[in-house]
Amino acid sequence: NASLVGILQHPDGTVLKQLQPPPRGPREQDFYNKVYDSDCCDSVLLELREYLPKYFGVWSPPTAPNDTYLKLEDVTRKFNKPCIMDVKIGQKSYDPYASAEKIQQQVSKYPLMEEIGFLVLGMRVYHVSSDSYETQNQHYGRSLTKETVKDGISKFFHNGYCLRKDAVAASIQKIEKILEWFEGQKQLNFYASSLLFVYEGSCQATTVRLSDVTLAEKRGMPKGLLSGGDILEYNNNIRVINSTENGKIEASVSKGLSKFYALHKKAYSKRHHSQLSLKVENLEQGNVWKSSTCITQEHLNGNVIPQLEKVFCHMPADIKENANVEVRMIDFAHVFPSNTRDEGYIYGLKNLITVLKNILDN
């Protein structure tokens, strides 16, 4: 199925995105080549790099030299429990050269695109209480209306205990930078392209620099391995790589990846029993709640987490370190040269910012 293009995590910290069939795949490859050309001196394109995953050229497995993959930065890699959302941006998700059938097909998928200007394609949210992920596929986003889209998106920022307003605020700032870029350029128009949002879902990954509140995890895991399970959701190529599928995919990509996944699984199960050392102070009241114990991950579901949540979810904004949030543009199979501003994309970004601000103000 051409729409299920694999996103594979590579041990070197990149992801491999299989090139789609022509004309889409070559168009996306040309886009990356143009933006990342070493001779590029166009300030508009140079700034655009800040908002994309880094691009490392193309790669083909030795066993299948005709299969081409884009080698891209894995934006989720630095996160311990990455929460990921993929939002398609723009009022039209078909490009100017689309056939009548293609237009009809795209419009019927989400008739509200013109009015709302964006569509949630998938999300994966870490719930602190259950130490597990909740995943929504593209049917979730397509069920959202003007009335429910705010609650639909706020779900991405809710960890089972509280709304991560820090992550919402940081996301708004990042989108505003991208909006500024769009308002200043007239050379590219983007259709069916997405924003990828990632924020840190785990409290342990944060060290809050306060006199007596430190919370650091002794990471029982090699740096180069991803901790969030082997899944990443993308735009028109949503593909969830789970462990049973891994075998099939690895074999076709390269022998080396199999070793990596085997190692990953081993490290992951070992890590699950890693010790956490916690020392937390409840800042809200004058009374001091302290815990300096070593506990295993399994016990985190007991009493400790609500106490941590008091610290992390109700801490004054200026004390929290800047929320660890990434917002990157992805999926460029329908990017075209232009001589006008991309009004459809700008409309989508502005409306998304409005929705996120409403979530903050609630």
| Confidence at residue 303, expressed as pLDDT on a 0 to 100 scale | 53
| Confidence at residue 231, expressed as pLDDT on a 0 to 100 scale | 34
* Number of compact structural domains in the chain: 2
Which of 56, 65, 72 has the alpha carbon at shortest distance from 8? 72
One domain for residues 36 and 84: no
Distance, CA of 152 to CA of 146 (rounded, Å): 10
Rounded average pLDDT over 46-67: 97
One domain for residues 53 and 106: no
| Confidence at residue 216, expressed as pLDDT on a 0 to 100 scale | 34
| Confidence at residue 250, expressed as pLDDT on a 0 to 100 scale | 41
CATH code of the domain in which 108 resides: 3.30.470.160
Distance, CA of 54 to CA of 47 (rounded, Å): 12
One domain for residues 103 and 198: yes
ω into 22 cis (within 30 of 0): no
Least trusted range by pLDDT, from 40-54, 117-131, 196-210, 221-235: 221-235
Q: What is the mean pLDDT of the chain?
A: 77
Identify whether the C-beta of residue 331 lies closer than 8 Å to the C-beta of residue 194. Answer: yes
Q: Of 58, 74, 90, which one is at a domain's C-terminal end?
A: 74
pLDDT tens column, 204-218: 644 443 333 333 333
pLDDT tens column, 264-308: 333 333 333 333 333 333 333 333 333 323 333 444 445 554 555
Q: How confident is the model at residue 6 (pLDDT cuts 50, 70, 90)?
A: confident
Residue 213 maps to a domain: no
End-to-end alpha-carbon separation of the chain, Å?
Answer: 42
Q: What residue numbers bound the domain in which 98 lies? A: 75-203+322-361
Please check the confidence at residue 257 and state whether its pLDDT lies above 70: no
Q: How confident is the model at residue 313 (pLDDT cuts 50, 70, 90)?
A: low
E-assigned strand segments in the chain: 7-9, 14-18, 55-59, 69-73, 82-89, 118-127, 132-136, 188-190, 193-200, 214-217, 275-281, 290-291, 294-296, 325-330, 335-337
Tokens coding 361: 């103000």
One domain for residues 122 and 198: yes
Residue 33 maps to a domain: yes
Least trusted range by pLDDT, from 44-58, 222-236, 336-350: 222-236
Residue 81 maps to a domain: yes
Q: Which amino acid is at 163?
A: L
Burial of 196 (0-12, 13-18, 19+ CB in 10 A): buried
Residue 159 maps to a domain: yes
Distance, CA of 55 to CA of 29 (rounded, Å): 10
Of the chain, the percentage scoring pLDDT greater than 90 comes to 64
Identify whether the C-beta of residue 117 lies closer than 8 Å to the C-beta of residue 86. Answer: no
pLDDT tens column, 127-153: 999 999 999 999 999 999 999 999 999
Residue 167 maps to a domain: yes
Please check the confidence at residue 31 and state whether its pLDDT lies above 50: yes
| Confidence at residue 190, expressed as pLDDT on a 0 to 100 scale | 98
